[in-house]
Chains A and B, each alone.
Chain A
Amino acid sequence: MNKILILFAHPAFRRSRINAVLRGGVEDLEGVTFHDLYAAYPDFLIDVPHEQSLCEAHDVIVLQHPFYWYSTPAIIKEWFDLVLEHEWAYGSSGKALAGKITFQALTAGGDTSDYRPGGLNLFTIKEFTTPYRATANLCRMEWLPPFGVLGIHKGLPEEDRLRHAAEYRRTLIALRDNHLDIHRARECELLNQDLDAIVKEV
């Protein structure tokens, strides 16, 4: 059984219905540690040794956050800057994260018609997340495409939110129990575009 660490970052969490539902769906899962960065470090003073030992104690690291300016909320950048130390996360002897699976679970306002070549945002979500893919690569991690909930500014109906939450929960369970086909998952545009195709049923 894999242990999963969710690094959650939302500066106005109370106002995000989608993130509340996503969070509610996975928080109680066995083997999942839900870590709210803004709540833990409201003044951004990140406890680096604590964060590193958390990472070392888990096999899967998920970054769950809203998609701000084609990137993450500020505290995740701060987290990268401080926690991913040379010779710990990367460098010739930096192998603390090696082999761990990682992906982003993000919520974005625009939908797939905005996130495409020629669309409003010019690039796809997968393209926008290449910096994180490179980060994972440098840290010798197993990168997976983002789990994306798009189009939330057009107002997601309640049943869609619940569906996303269920899919998120299913993805994490599959990862936890080694039921996810990593090779096929890596080829996806978004991790949740067709879960049935990558989750191996037992």
Chain B
Amino acid sequence: MEQFLVQLFIFLAAAVIAVPLAKKCRLGSVLGYLIAGIVIGPFCLRLIGDIETVMHFTEFGVVMMLFLVGLELKPSLLWQMRTPILGMGGTQVVLTFIIVGLVCALVLPWQQAVAIGLTLALSSTAIVLQTLREKGLLNTSPGQSVFSVLLFQDLAVIPILAIIPLLATTVIQADSHHGPEFFDITALPGWLRLLVVLLAMGFIYIAGTYASRPVFRAIAATRVREVFVAAALTLVIGISLLMTLVGLSPALGTFLAGVVLADSEYRHELESDIEPFKGLLLGIFFISIGASLNFTLIAEQLWLVGGLVAGLILIKGLVLFATAGIFRMPVHERWLFTVALAQGGEFAFVLFQFARTNGVLPQPLTESLISAVAVSMFLAPLLFIVHDKLIATRLKDALPERPADHIEEGGRAVILAGFGRLGTDIGRLLISAGIRPIILDHNEANVDTLRSFGFEVYYGDATRLDLLESAGAAEAELIIITLGDHEKAMELTRLVQKHYPHLKIAVNAVDRRAAYEFMDLGVTTIRRETFGSALTLGQDALQLLGFDPYEAYKIRRLFRKKDKDTLPELYRIFREDTENYRTMYQKHNENLVELMKKDREMDMEELDKAWSAASPET
């Protein structure tokens, strides 16, 4: 136990120190983790022990990441991406496989060449997605292309795992491959295997579509947050186990589950619950990659490993650039696409080990290859930096200023926190103006009803930072706060001001005092809840009493303006002279009546005078 805590402490401390430093140097978090891994690894401080186990365990971060990615991809969107996934992904994997395979076949037996070609065709989902997301590029069109290719690669792992044992040139060592203990799918005949796989996929789809909602609703109703977290983790882990059982990639399975749940109102809640686990696991995963870099081996075989890395990046880069060309990507996107995917992936660690234990690859070659992949993964974030510094800036100079042609579908500009009676009408207004806000509400009954009316409402407590984050607060332009509970609204305002200073805030204040408290926080767009309808109803009343409609309308406008004008003064008195506030308030109201009267008379007289070309005196 103590040993475990010590190891955990070392990993976390390394991350806590390295990532902020790397960020400060504008290197991105991935590079920070990798460097932290090297520092605490066996070739520097020698602080950690069993790297391989850690790496294997934390690979689960990749699974979680794909679940999160799936959550952001609705089925319709995924269907739209079928061409880039199959086309670009297929082209990239097949071409890379052929070229790498041919090059290897010059010096190695063809079986080994095939295994290496297949494995090196894959790129690092973990590093690439993390980096793209950090740079805010995931929802751009090159980002989507990169993602499509990664998705195809994840799919390709399944047949690759099936092919590798067929390439064996030496006798397989006994007990090298062991499936799950209680059920071994490989024992089944082929057609039954396929059936089991299809059943598993169908189960995920049906459970996700029909069973998830009532289950999540029941859990949400308990209002015990950790139970929801537990449910989210159970879901992801359960699917991974199921996928492993039927011989599919867990990452692929959870990705599918994510897609199925992408339409659910609990999407953002799930996202924010899984996110920290994913982040930590991935972080430690990156650290263990850094720690696993075998510098002794690299130093001994400097030329071999160096050559492998250079060859790998060069061939993948060329293939990617050609793929981008075939699919007619704009020139400035081709470079990003190329740079993003020109490295080996974490699957290579698994697949090379798998190939070795199946007697396909010899031990020394496997180690050199794994080192080369690890180095290429270490270089990947650096390549991004080179791209940003050299290529992107140069291309930007060469290209004419691009107009903002499309707002990314993923990023919506407005978060509407609180969707009660007030929020509903605000939402309707925004939607009618073509703005689809992300709506957050914490009342599960309310969420259900509004969903049935076709609103896009998500369940969750808007005052939770993680939920705000997954609702897109970092990219949003505006948050409208219409929570009925004033204290909650204040809390949310403070939270937003602290963590998202760029976000514009518009609040609903339940009464005048609440408005003053928002003014304390420096909020400038404040509307008192019932003020608007009071004035409108007042206008109606005047009209029913025989006022001209235009007159009644003007009185309403004038009143609102005067009220607004006196607000700062009343606010000052409220804060500085609390005792006299009531009398001052009354006095101000009397003044308001006077002022209004004067203003109205002035208004009319000005009108009269305005067009009296000849002065009345003459």
Query: For the complex, what is the distance from the CA of A154 to the CA of B614, rounded to whole Å?
Result: 9
0/1 interface trace, chain B 517-551, chain A, CB 8 Å (1 if under): 00000000000000000000000000000001111
Chain B residues in 8 Å Cβ range of A43: 553
Query: For the complex, what is the distance from the CA of A40 to the CA of B554, rounded to whole Å?
Result: 14
User: How close is A154's CB to chain B, nearest CB, in angstroms?
Assistant: 8
Instruction: Establish whether residues B608 and A15, one from each chain, have CB atoms under 8 Å apart when the complex forms.
Output: yes
Instruction: Establish whether residues A109 and B611, one from each chain, have CB atoms under 8 Å apart when the complex forms.
Output: yes
Tell me which of B553, B608, B612 contacts A110 (CB under 8 A).
B612
Interface hit among A63-71, A135-143, A174-182 = A63-71
User: How close is B538's CB to chain A, nearest CB, in angstroms?
Assistant: 14
Query: For the complex, what is the distance from the CA of A111 to the CA of B604, rounded to whole Å?
Result: 22
Tell me which of A14, A42, A108, A111 contacts B611 (CB under 8 A).
A108
Instruction: Establish whether residues B611 and A39, one from each chain, have CB atoms under 8 Å apart when the complex forms.
Output: no
Instruction: Establish whether residues B611 and A68, one from each chain, have CB atoms under 8 Å apart when the complex forms.
Output: yes
Query: For the complex, what is the distance from the CA of A70 to the CA of B553, rounded to whole Å?
Result: 26
Q: Assess whether A202 is interfacial by the CB under 8 Å rule.
A: no
0/1 interface trace, chain B 590-618, chain A, CB 8 Å (1 if under): 00000000000000100110111110100
Number of A-B contacts (CB under 8 A): 53
Instruction: Establish whether residues A15 and B611, one from each chain, have CB atoms under 8 Å apart when the complex forms.
Output: no
Instruction: Establish whether residues B614 and A42, one from each chain, have CB atoms under 8 Å apart when the complex forms.
Output: no
Interface of B is mostly: helix
Q: Which residue of A is nearest B606, CB measured?
A: A12
Q: Which residue of A is nearest B607, CB measured?
A: A12
Chain B residues in 8 Å Cβ range of A69: 610-611
Chain A residues in 8 Å Cβ range of B550: 11, 38-39, 42
Instruction: Establish whether residues A42 and B549, one from each chain, have CB atoms under 8 Å apart when the complex forms.
Output: yes
Chain A residues in 8 Å Cβ range of B608: 12, 15
User: How close is B543's CB to chain A, nearest CB, in angstroms?
Assistant: 9
Q: Which residue of B is nearest A37, CB measured?
A: B550
Chain A residues in 8 Å Cβ range of B548: 13-14, 38-39
Instruction: Establish whether residues B613 and A109, one from each chain, have CB atoms under 8 Å apart when the complex forms.
Output: yes
Question: Which A residues, 111 to 150, have Cβ-Cβ distances below 8 Å to chain B?
Answer: 111, 114, 120-121
Q: Assess whether B552 is interfacial by the CB under 8 Å rule.
A: yes
Query: For the complex, what is the distance from the CA of A114 to the CA of B614, rounded to whole Å?
Result: 7
Q: Assess whether A153 is interfacial by the CB under 8 Å rule.
A: yes
Query: For the complex, what is the distance from the CA of A2 to the CA of B454, rounded to whole Å?
Result: 52
Query: For the complex, what is the distance from the CA of A66 to the CA of B552, rounded to whole Å?
Result: 20
Chain B residues in 8 Å Cβ range of A67: 611
Query: For the complex, what is the distance from the CA of A40 to the CA of B548, rounded to whole Å?
Result: 10
Interface of A is mostly: loop
Question: Which A residues, 42 to 58, have Cβ-Cβ distances below 8 Å to chain B?
Answer: 42-43
Query: For the complex, what is the distance from the CA of A154 to the CA of B610, rounded to whole Å?
Result: 15
Given A42-B550, A42-B552, A42-B553, check contact A15 B604 (CB 8 Å): yes
Query: For the complex, what is the distance from the CA of A94 to the CA of B554, rounded to whole Å?
Result: 36
User: How close is A18's CB to chain B, nearest CB, in angstroms?
Assistant: 12
0/1 interface trace, chain A 67-98, chain B, CB 8 Å (1 if under): 11110000000000000000000000000000
Query: For the complex, what is the distance from the CA of A70 to the CA of B604, rounded to whole Å?
Result: 18
Is the interface on chain B under 10, 10 to 19, 20 to 34, or 35 or more residues?
10 to 19
Instruction: Establish whether residues A109 and B614, one from each chain, have CB atoms under 8 Å apart when the complex forms.
Output: yes
Given A11-B607, A68-B610, A109-B611, check contact A153 B616 (CB 8 Å): yes
Query: For the complex, what is the distance from the CA of A120 to the CA of B616, rounded to whole Å?
Result: 13
Query: For the complex, what is the distance from the CA of A68 to the CA of B609, rounded to whole Å?
Result: 9
Question: Which A residues, 13 to 43, have Cβ-Cβ distances below 8 Å to chain B?
Answer: 13-15, 38-40, 42-43
Query: For the complex, what is the distance from the CA of A81 to the CA of B612, rounded to whole Å?
Result: 26
Chain A residues in 8 Å Cβ range of B613: 70, 108-110, 114, 120-121
Instruction: Establish whether residues A38 and B611, one from each chain, have CB atoms under 8 Å apart when the complex forms.
Output: no
Query: For the complex, what is the distance from the CA of A146 to the CA of B613, rounded to whole Å?
Result: 18
Chain B residues in 8 Å Cβ range of A154: 616
Instruction: Establish whether residues B604 and A12, one from each chain, have CB atoms under 8 Å apart when the complex forms.
Output: yes
Q: Which residue of B is nearest A39, CB measured?
A: B549
Instruction: Establish whether residues B551 and A14, one from each chain, have CB atoms under 8 Å apart when the complex forms.
Output: yes
Query: For the complex, what is the distance from the CA of A121 to the CA of B612, rounded to whole Å?
Result: 11
Given A12-B608, A15-B608, check contact A120 B614 (CB 8 Å): yes
Query: For the complex, what is the distance from the CA of A67 to the CA of B553, rounded to whole Å?
Result: 23
Given A12-B604, A12-B607, A15-B604, check contact A111 B614 (CB 8 Å): yes
User: How close is B474's CB to chain A, nearest CB, in angstroms?
Assistant: 38
User: How close is B616's CB to chain A, nearest CB, in angstroms?
Assistant: 5
Query: For the complex, what is the distance from the CA of A153 to the CA of B612, rounded to whole Å?
Result: 7
Query: For the complex, what is the distance from the CA of A38 to the CA of B552, rounded to whole Å?
Result: 11
User: How close is B403's CB to chain A, nearest CB, in angstroms?
Assistant: 29
Query: For the complex, what is the distance from the CA of A108 to the CA of B608, rounded to whole Å?
Result: 10
User: How close is A44's CB to chain B, nearest CB, in angstroms?
Assistant: 10
Chain B residues in 8 Å Cβ range of A66: 611
Query: For the complex, what is the distance from the CA of A161 to the CA of B162, rounded to whole Å?
Result: 103
User: How close is A144's CB to chain B, nearest CB, in angstroms?
Assistant: 22
Q: Which residue of A is nearest B612, CB measured?
A: A109
0/1 interface trace, chain B 545-588, chain A, CB 8 Å (1 if under): 00011111110000000000000000000000000000000000
Q: Which residue of A is nearest B603, CB measured?
A: A12
User: How close is B605's CB to chain A, nearest CB, in angstroms?
Assistant: 9
Instruction: Establish whether residues A110 and B614, one from each chain, have CB atoms under 8 Å apart when the complex forms.
Output: yes
Chain B residues in 8 Å Cβ range of A68: 607, 610-611
Instruction: Establish whether residues A153 and B549, one from each chain, have CB atoms under 8 Å apart when the complex forms.
Output: no
User: How close is A104's CB to chain B, nearest CB, in angstroms?
Assistant: 14
Q: Which residue of A is nearest B551, CB measured?
A: A14
Can you list 15 pairs linking A and B with CB atoms under 8 Å apart?
A11-B607, A12-B604, A39-B548, A39-B549, A39-B550, A40-B549, A42-B553, A42-B554, A68-B607, A68-B610, A108-B611, A110-B613, A153-B612, A153-B614, A153-B616
Give me the 4 closest cross-chain CB pairs, A-B, nearest first.
A109-B612, A42-B553, A38-B550, A110-B614
Given contacts A12-B607, A14-B551, A42-B549, 7 further A-B contacts (CB under 8 A): A15-B604, A42-B550, A42-B554, A68-B610, A109-B612, A153-B612, A154-B616
